[in-house]
Structure 1
Amino acid sequence: MQLSADVDRPWQGIVAQERRALHQLIPGDWLLPQDVLTRAENTPKLVGDFIESLLDPETLEITALDQITALDPVAISWHVSVKNNNVLEFIFEAALEQAKELDQYYEQHHETVGPLHGLPVSMKDQFHVKTVNTSMGYVGWINKERPVESLIVKELKSLGAIPIAKTTCVQTLFFGETNNNILGYTKNPFNQALSTGGSSRGEGAFQALRGSGIGFGTDISERRAPEISFFLRADGDADVFEQMSLSGEPFIPEIQAQFGEKPKPPAQLLEFYNQYLHLKEYRERYQAYWDSTATKSSTGSLPSFLDFQIKRGASGRLTCTIGLPVDAIILPASPHAGTLPAPKQKAKVVIKYHPNLEQSLARIEASLRAGGLEEEVPEVWPKELTGPLVWTTADFQHESKYIFVLTEEEKMELHNALKHFKGMLHELYHIDIANENAGLGLEGQKINRNSFPFPTLGSTLQQMVDDLYQGRSFATLRGLNVDAYCTDDDTLLFLGVSSYIGNRFGKQDLRKSTIMHVVSRDDEPEDNSQPNRAGRTIRKSPYLNPLFLSLKNQFRYGCGPKFYNRALLHCYDEKVIPAFSRRLLVRKPTSPRSASLPGLTEAQAEAIDAIHYIAKKHEIVTRTQKGDMRFINNMGILQSRDKFVETETSKRHFVRIWINNEELNWKLPRGLKLAWKRVFDDDERPPLWNLSRWVR
């Protein structure tokens, strides 16, 4: 639906135009006579006899919309739904086009795309469908077509389902009525004198009128009217402020008190996970208790209300007994979380961890004295690794092994490519890169090998790619005179070179920043390690045969405590992939571990020691120069950095990006795959490309 929401026009005019456009989306031969529509408005009950009186006997045999070509019930449901105010968007043309593609696929392959092949589905107007508006009942969001598609929509389409409509919802969501300023009030199809409830009841009404085969909403169920503060628990409500910024409107006073002036710090993931585990444990204990009552009944089976005894007491009153330690069931509800005193647990040996060689040797000695250690490497773990991914310090006696120095010709190629790219931005996209806001409108798709042509340098970069994904896992491009360019141009050059290394850029923070500027700040705490004192970066390879000798105890202890599982190394696809970050495990003074989590056990500390000191023994130290472009495969090596020491002549400012090469990227175990999926496969959050304006 292509409309323009002119801010100078009264909103009532925009709504009237939207309603007319919605009505016009229904094909002419689908329209019902006016007398039928009048009856629909006046009849108390739309479902049942009324809707069935409009269908022929053959159609009544259809229990669901088996085919998109079953147009009669669709037509009737759509037109009645318009009168019932339950549909915000009809997806007619795209649905028929998708149905044709599915038919062609079946004719060619003689099989369905998936289990939902050809099934019409509808969904609440909270889900994004490409080329379709998402207003969620806000007049100000009319014609706000989203360039993304929600994950559930992608999954449904991949299974063969055909989205045909997006249903109405309550403006602001999370309310017990379905009403907004676009369509108005949605009545209950079973009794139009009653409410449908909220906030997904537009979808409920559409389903009651047989509008589609399956409908999707986003309800939260409660036994009471939920207050707004219910969902302000974990994420700090950053998304709330982001959504409000789209309209430019302030919070109303009643809401302001709940949200404050800015987002709150989100709960730590491990703390959130810990609470979930408590919930799961409580449910399991309650379920076990409930199941145990089966043995209390006279039959020894699950209690039956036919299995009871009636007795007359001394007072003459009749009492009913079924032999269960439960007085009554007021409401059949699923087990849910409640506040209980923390159960007493046996004391565990927990420690604060910091690398200490003397303590590490003592831990190893204690493990050997205790005995019972595995003597053989587990079968799933490689006993020996070979190939270009395996290296030692001796392989890098000179920096020329991993540093590629730009020639004068390649420097000129960089300059010309930058000039070409900026000219292309201005000519094709009307972006003035000299404007301080230009970086905010830049899209990563515009940065690629075509927009940054490197005829000669390209072969050098390809060699770096081979080293990163099939060799040592790190490489440096040296020789760029960053002082000859402004910060924006330096950043663009870095992005242009990076587009030869990977073809996707990841988001690094809650602002969706794809570019992170790390600069010197006066308020940096002393213990917050920063990169590169005189430019030192240390790299360690995980491909070391001595590893198992110091990890016998950890193989026996395999799993961490139930609060979380954090693997230090993964053996996957014939590669050893490090997932070790001491900072994430033991934290630091400025960001301590959650008080609800236990400390590290001696066995866990021993495992961290093993990786730390073996890597320390085989590390190589590289030195950074101004203008270096350094690329690191995080799946292939461990990296540490010295604290940055600022002087009057040495100021820190480096640019960090996360890139991914879809063709060469390593296969990852599930835990790592999920972690990086949020970085590179997040289509619902538009990226922020800040060249220099915002720094951290």
Structure 2
Amino acid sequence: MTTHTVPQTSENPVSLQPWMHREDHGLAADVLSRQQNGVSQPPKGFPPLIHGPDKIQPHRLDLDGPDVAAVEETLNSSHELELDGDEVTRECFPLQSLQDRLEKCAFEVHRGCGLCIVRGLNPDNYTIEDNIVLFLAIASYIGDERGLQNAKGDMLSHVTESKSWTVPKEKRHGIHTNYSLPFHNDMGCEILSIQVRDRADEGGRTCVASMAAIYNDLVQTKPWVLHALAKHDWPIQTSRREPPFVLCPLIEYHAGNLLISMDPSRIGPHPLIRNGSIPNLTPEQQEALVVLEETAQKHQIQLDTQPGDLIFINNLALLHGRESYLDSNTSSRHLVRLWLRNTQLGWPIPPSMSMPWDATFGERAKRVMDRYYPIMPMPEYIECKYSNGTAAFVADDDNFDGGNDSGLNYTGRSFS
């Protein structure tokens, strides 16, 4: 493998959020320091300890030869049905020999370690269309509902940096660059589902961190951070229309579960909006995000994935980030993303976190009638006026964007 220097976070415009660098806030910093020292207990209503998922040990389902043969037999039978994307369900794609093990994966995602990897399908053995069918079919055993990723009806997103794109990186969404991405989750999503289509030549590993581990660490070391994260005063971008933000907490303890809903690129003013319509973050909030990022890095694990892997992450319990990376002339890091929920095992969503959820799975999402499953990103990247950051979604003037791929022109090859 050719040796390259992978760009570091400090060089990446996408990562240069105001809260990523500690600054001397003068009197405000002094007041903040005194406030922090006076906090010794978790927020009211939060437990002194969260019981898992703490130390992440991914649950693995390795498909052997007979398993792959059974999947391919069902795939061949499905060709006769000419299934559209929404029709690729467990009922139309029965995998009886795998059903119990896949349901075990779903249980682990919701009640166990929070992370499952299905391995054994070689994407080189299938067409692009069949790879998508296999992803949707197996994913239907993990979650029975799919989330809307934008107002145009796209149900899949392509996390990649195409060699054909000419739009400068600083004008693209973060997931469409090779920059590192800070820890976050996809706000509104319950199960983050990923198909690994190709890996980078160097770097690009997905990193995950358990919010339970982060919480238990902060209870002992910096409980004031938990108080800050739990306050209902974080300005979350909603749309370009009024109101452009709502005030929400970033963590909630609800129905016996610790949930986090946090994408730093969707918190506070959008970098392109200077009219003061969205409040700036306070020094306490900025410092809390810095500590959260540092603690997530402390407890992270790096996923060693390979093409064909299917990854299912409890998006409410785990944060994820990404290393910067370099592609070669023959490689292009490429992930296909799907948002899922499991109506039987899914965690109850607290009202304070319902706004992004509604855009993905709720009534707002249901108003988008046409659903599309783009199997490839199109060659032309269309600069999106308001795209930025990690998994942020913000409406572009007249159209509510529930996902983060509005910068791609998806008119082309897709299931409809």
Does TM, scored on the shorter chain, surpass 0.5?
Answer: yes
The alpha-carbon distance between structure 1 residues 554 and 620, as it changes in their structure 2 partners (threshold 3 A), is closer
* Residue 380 (structure 1) aligns with: 45
* Residue 254 (structure 2) aligns with: 572
Whether 1:456 aligns to 2:97 is: yes
Q: How does 1:611-690 map to 2 (within 5 A)?
A: 611-681=292-362, 682-690=365-373
* Residue 137 (structure 2) aligns with: 496
Moved more, 411-420 or 540-549: 540-549
Q: Secondary structure at the match of 1:657?
A: strand
* Residue 692 (structure 1) aligns with: 375
The alpha-carbon distance between structure 1 residues 555 and 651, as it changes in their structure 2 partners (threshold 3 A), is closer
What is the rounded CA distance, in whole Å, between the counterparts of 2:294 and 2:103 in structure 1?
34
Which letter maps to 1:672? M
Q: Secondary structure at the match of 2:267?
A: helix
The offset of 1:598, in angstroms, is 3.6
What is the rounded CA distance, in whole Å, between the counterparts of 1:660 and 1:559 in structure 2?
25
Which letter maps to 1:611? L
Query: Do the aligned residues in 1 keep the contact of 2:117 with 2:311 (CA within 8 Å)?
Result: yes
* Residue 8 (structure 2) aligns with: none
Equivalent of 1:418 in 72, 75, 81: 75
What is the rounded CA distance, in whole Å, between the counterparts of 2:302 and 2:246 in structure 1?
33
The offset of 1:443, in angstroms, is 4.9
The alpha-carbon distance between structure 1 residues 504 and 651, as it changes in their structure 2 partners (threshold 3 A), is same
Structure 2 length as normaliser, TM-score?
0.68
Equivalent of 1:560 in 209, 233, 236: 233
The alpha-carbon distance between structure 1 residues 376 and 464, as it changes in their structure 2 partners (threshold 3 A), is same
Whether 1:390 aligns to 2:62 is: no
Equivalent of 2:287 in 596, 606, 614: 606
Q: Secondary structure at the match of 1:500?
A: coil
* Residue 546 (structure 1) aligns with: 217
What is the rounded CA distance, in whole Å, between the counterparts of 1:651 and 1:612 in structure 2?
27
Whether 1:404 aligns to 2:61 is: yes
What is the rounded CA distance, in whole Å, between the counterparts of 1:458 and 1:475 in structure 2?
15
* Residue 48 (structure 1) aligns with: none
Q: Secondary structure at the match of 2:101?
A: helix
Gapped runs of 5+ residues in structure 2? 1-15, 179-199, 236-244, 379-407, 409-416
Q: Secondary structure at the match of 2:373?
A: coil
What is the rounded CA distance, in whole Å, between the counterparts of 1:636 and 1:599 in structure 2?
27
What is the rounded CA distance, in whole Å, between the counterparts of 2:290 and 2:20 in structure 1?
7
Equivalent of 1:465 in 96, 99, 106: 106
The offset of 1:689, in angstroms, is 2.7
Whether 1:516 aligns to 2:157 is: yes
Q: Secondary structure at the match of 2:38?
A: coil
Q: Secondary structure at the match of 2:141?
A: helix
The offset of 1:623, in angstroms, is 2.1
Query: Do the aligned residues in 1 keep the contact of 2:206 with 2:303 (CA within 8 Å)?
Result: yes
Q: How does 1:206-217 map to 2 (within 5 A)?
A: none
Which letter maps to 1:615? A
What is the rounded CA distance, in whole Å, between the counterparts of 1:604 and 1:371 in structure 2?
12
What is the rounded CA distance, in whole Å, between the counterparts of 1:598 and 1:587 in structure 2?
6
The alpha-carbon distance between structure 1 residues 364 and 517, as it changes in their structure 2 partners (threshold 3 A), is same
The alpha-carbon distance between structure 1 residues 503 and 390, as it changes in their structure 2 partners (threshold 3 A), is closer
**What's the C-alpha RMSD, in Å, of the aligned pairs?**
3.1
Equivalent of 2:18 in 353, 361, 369: 353
Q: Secondary structure at the match of 1:612?
A: helix
The offset of 1:664, in angstroms, is 0.9
The offset of 1:519, in angstroms, is 4.1
Whether 1:536 aligns to 2:205 is: yes
The alpha-carbon distance between structure 1 residues 623 and 592, as it changes in their structure 2 partners (threshold 3 A), is farther
Q: Deviations over 1:67-91 (max 9, x none)?
A: xxxxxxxxxxxxxxxxxxxxxxxxx
Q: Deviations over 1:274-294 (max 9, x none)?
A: xxxxxxxxxxxxxxxxxxxxx
What is the rounded CA distance, in whole Å, between the counterparts of 1:453 and 1:608 in structure 2?
44
The alpha-carbon distance between structure 1 residues 553 and 575, as it changes in their structure 2 partners (threshold 3 A), is closer
What is the rounded CA distance, in whole Å, between the counterparts of 2:29 and 2:296 in structure 1?
17
Q: How does 1:100-499 map to 2 (within 5 A)?
A: 353-356=18-21, 367-369=32-34, 373-386=38-51, 389-392=52-55, 396=57, 401-425=58-82, 442-444=84-86, 446-499=87-140
What is the rounded CA distance, in whole Å, between the counterparts of 1:359 and 1:459 in structure 2?
55
Q: Deviations over 1:664-684 (max 9, x none)?
A: 110011132332122223333
The offset of 1:366, in angstroms, is 6.0
Q: Deviations over 1:275-321 (max 9, x none)?
A: xxxxxxxxxxxxxxxxxxxxxxxxxxxxxxxxxxxxxxxxxxxxxxx
Q: How does 1:89-104 map to 2 (within 5 A)?
A: none
Q: Secondary structure at the match of 1:639?
A: strand
What is the rounded CA distance, in whole Å, between the counterparts of 1:664 and 1:570 in structure 2?
18
Number of positions where the alignment pairs a residue of Structure 1 with one of Structure 2: 319
Q: Deviations over 1:491-514 (max 9, x none)?
A: 011001011111111211121111
What is the rounded CA distance, in whole Å, between the counterparts of 1:354 and 1:379 in structure 2?
26
Gapped runs of 5+ residues in structure 1? 1-350, 426-430, 432-441
Q: Secondary structure at the match of 1:417?
A: helix
Structure 1 length as normaliser, TM-score?
0.42
* Residue 184 (structure 2) aligns with: none
The alpha-carbon distance between structure 1 residues 370 and 547, as it changes in their structure 2 partners (threshold 3 A), is closer
Which letter maps to 1:451? C
What is the rounded CA distance, in whole Å, between the counterparts of 1:574 and 1:357 in structure 2?
34
Q: Secondary structure at the match of 1:480?
A: coil
The offset of 1:568, in angstroms, is 1.8
Q: Which structure is higher in RCO with an 8 Å CA cutoff and minimum separation 6?
A: 2
What is the rounded CA distance, in whole Å, between the counterparts of 1:625 and 1:358 in structure 2?
40
Which letter maps to 2:231? G
The offset of 1:390, in angstroms, is 2.8
Query: Do the aligned residues in 1 keep the contact of 2:60 with 2:118 (CA within 8 Å)?
Result: yes
What is the rounded CA distance, in whole Å, between the counterparts of 2:295 and 2:35 in structure 1?
23
The offset of 1:458, in angstroms, is 1.9
Query: Do the aligned residues in 2 keep the contact of 1:505 with 1:658 (CA within 8 Å)?
Result: yes
The alpha-carbon distance between structure 1 residues 364 and 476, as it changes in their structure 2 partners (threshold 3 A), is farther
Query: Do the aligned residues in 2 keep the contact of 1:578 with 1:636 (CA within 8 Å)?
Result: yes
What is the rounded CA distance, in whole Å, between the counterparts of 1:491 and 1:642 in structure 2?
25
What is the rounded CA distance, in whole Å, between the counterparts of 1:370 and 1:554 in structure 2?
13
* Residue 391 (structure 2) aligns with: none
The offset of 1:575, in angstroms, is 1.1
Q: Secondary structure at the match of 1:382?
A: coil
* Greater strand fraction, Structure 1 or Structure 2: 2
What is the rounded CA distance, in whole Å, between the counterparts of 2:23 and 2:304 in structure 1?
29
- Computing the radius of gyration over CA atoms, which structure comes out larger, 1 or 2? 1
Which letter maps to 1:368? S
Equivalent of 1:583 in 249, 254, 265: 265
Query: Do the aligned residues in 2 keep the contact of 1:367 with 1:553 (CA within 8 Å)?
Result: no
Q: Percent identity, please.
A: 23
The alpha-carbon distance between structure 1 residues 370 and 686, as it changes in their structure 2 partners (threshold 3 A), is closer
What is the rounded CA distance, in whole Å, between the counterparts of 1:406 and 1:680 in structure 2?
31
